[in-house]
Amino acid sequence: MLLETLVLLFFGALCANANTQTPFTSDLHSAASSTILAQENNITLQLNSITSEETFVALSHPRFPNHSVRIKKSTFCDPTVSVYTGYLDVDEGAKHLFFYFFESRRDPAKDDVMMWINGGPGCSSGMGLLFELGPCSIDMTKASPNGTNWNPYSWNKEANIFFLDQPVGVGYSYADFGETVETTEEAARNVHAFITIFFETFKQFAGRSLHLAGESYGGRYLPVFASEIYDKNKVAESEGRPSLNLKSIMIGNGITDISTLYEGRYQIECGTAALDVPFQQISTCVRIKSALPRCQALMRNSCIDQFDHMNCGAAVQFCDNEMTTAYWASGRNVYDVSMVCKEQDLCYPDENAVADFLDLTSTRQMLGAESPGKFTVCSNTVGRNFVSHLDKWAHHTQHYVAELLERDIRVLIYAGTYDYQCNWIANKLWVDKLEWSGRTAYAGQTWRDWLVDGHTAGATKKAGGLTFATILGAGHMVPHDKPAEAQAMVSRWLANQDI
């Protein structure tokens, strides 16, 4: 059950000007690629100077001798903006992380930069791109000549945005010799290197506000990634080097503090936190309610107060068996309690359509994707590797959130009210008890409705840099279920306005 749950959590010719140094011509991945050594203070490379749609430009940086970025222009998805795709090559070129980059539809020369990742762990951000918040959506009618439809609610409406497939083994990302990344902390180092190389190479983005966004396992990823960036910024500043202008993280229906997960699921399934009348049988709810105190005690003793790998694994197994089995057997969509599915993996046919589209030879050629094997939306192997370390249970990720808030990094926690898997109640409970200097102020605030086009979109609460927002009638994938509301929320967040 643990792996099944995890796998379904789907949810990433040289055209420089004469200012460059003499380029290298050797490249392990494509004889047609060219390499630029981005020496600090000696290079000014504009993103729009990369015009080839056929070959990569490979960018290296002296501070990251074991990392490089390969990038090319693309016609993929959104004809109204410039689009670039490529790879971050890490560990001396043995691992390759694929990314899509879309310029802002509003003012790419001035707008903020955002990175989006999907969760899993092991799920491709291509799903977020083509199913949720990207510039285009998969065309389920097959009427579009390029397989996609333009998305008016894309989050690149007001931001330059990356979609990153990470870690290796996810989506188009791959390793040459079977190398793996199996913990969030290890993944954070690669994410920091990628963003730093990009910002320091393309000086047009220097100083731009940076926001990290994602959903689901992003509740674990993003606080750690942001903390890695913040800490490395302090090292850079102490050495007189440029730093990244990290402003915020945005977590949608995330898993951050495991201590509230099962209580939240119980309230969604057997209470009225999602539906006006609980759908589950009374006898089932009584059994779950009876098992909840034991589940919480086991989790507290073996995973939270102290971590014991074997006992924590046993606690998780008990909680999943006793607390979630009935929901999975009910036929209800684990990502949207209002939906009934014949089979969980058929709840969203778009998932298979996205996988098929991204696996097409023509799509791969357009993007420059080089990954071996069939494209899959989620990687079972990556998921199993993270679970083998009990990655989300062994670490108190909520403490990263608190430390970021203390350092004036804004945090948005948003959640669709119909999600079961990483539901709004579980998120509300951990945010309410988060230990930070603004805890008393946050507790003293009252909930208020937030509106989009005159209609109530959900409820929100704010204190200091922390904002919590619900989205009524949305499930796990908020931008898919409520695109107008999600886009309005992000627009206000980027403008530093109250939601």
438, burial (CB in 10 Å: exposed 0-12, middle 13-18, buried 19+): middle
Calpha distance 200→192 (Å, rounded) = 12
Give 416's contacts (C-beta < 8 A, 6+ positions apart).
252, 253, 336, 424, 470, 471, 473, 474, 475, 476, 477, 478, 481, 482
Give pLDDT tens digits for 3-26. Answer: 333 333 333 322 223 222 222 222
Give pLDDT tens digits for 408-435. Answer: 999 999 999 999 999 999 999 999 999 9
179, burial (CB in 10 Å: exposed 0-12, middle 13-18, buried 19+): middle
Q: How far is CA 498 from CA 325, 463, 482, in A?
A: 39, 10, 19
Name the least confident of 91-100, 169-178, 210-219, 277-286: 91-100
448 DSSP β-pair partners = 460
Q: What's the count of helices (H) and strands (E) in the chain, helices before strands?
A: 16, 18
Residue 68 has pLDDT above 70, yes or no: yes
Name the least confident of 125-139, 169-183, 217-231: 169-183
Calpha distance 383→217 (Å, rounded) = 11
Calpha distance 56→13 (Å, rounded) = 7
Give 192's contacts (C-beta < 8 A, 6+ positions apart).
225, 228, 229, 232
Q: Put residue 122 in one of left, alpha, beta given phi > 0 → left and psi -120 to 50 → alpha.
A: left
pLDDT of residue 64: 75
Please give the share of the chain, as a percent, with pLDDT higher than 70: 91
Q: How confident is the model at residue 29 (pLDDT cuts 50, 70, 90)?
A: very low
Whether omega for the bond prior to residue 167 falls within 30 degrees of 0, making it cis, is: yes
Name the least confident of 29-33, 218-222, 475-479: 29-33
State both tokens at 359: 């696996």
Label each residue of 251-263 as H, E or C.
EEEECCCHHHHHH
Residue 156 has pLDDT above 70, yes or no: yes
Please give the share of the chain, as a percent, with pLDDT higher than 90: 75
Q: What is the mean pLDDT of residues 33-60?
A: 68
Q: What is the mean pLDDT of residues 222-247?
A: 96
pLDDT of residue 179: 85
Give 470's contacts (C-beta < 8 A, 6+ positions apart).
414, 415, 416, 417, 424, 458, 459, 460
Q: What is the mean pLDDT of residues 211-229?
A: 97
Give 78's contacts (C-beta < 8 A, 6+ positions apart).
102, 105, 135, 136, 150, 154, 156
Q: What is the mean pLDDT of residues 394-407?
A: 97
Q: What is the mean pLDDT of residues 482-499?
A: 97
- Which residue, 282, 324, 340, 330, is CA-closest to 423? 324
pLDDT of residue 44: 58
- The whole-model pTM stands at 0.90
Residue 31 has pLDDT above 50, yes or no: no
Residue 383 has pLDDT above 60, yes or no: yes
Residue 103 has pLDDT above 50, yes or no: yes
Residue 465 has pLDDT above 90, yes or no: yes
Task: Please indicate whether residue 411 or residue 60 has the higher confidence score (pLDDT).
Answer: 411
Active site residues: 216, 419, 476
> Quick one: DSSP state of residue 56?
P
| 8 Å CB contact between 197 and 43 | no
pLDDT of residue 145: 87
Find the helix or strand (DSSP H, E) in which 405 lies.
Answer: helix 397-406
Q: What is the mean pLDDT of residues 82-107?
A: 90
| 8 Å CB contact between 114 and 493 | no
Q: How confident is the model at residue 54 (pLDDT cuts 50, 70, 90)?
A: confident
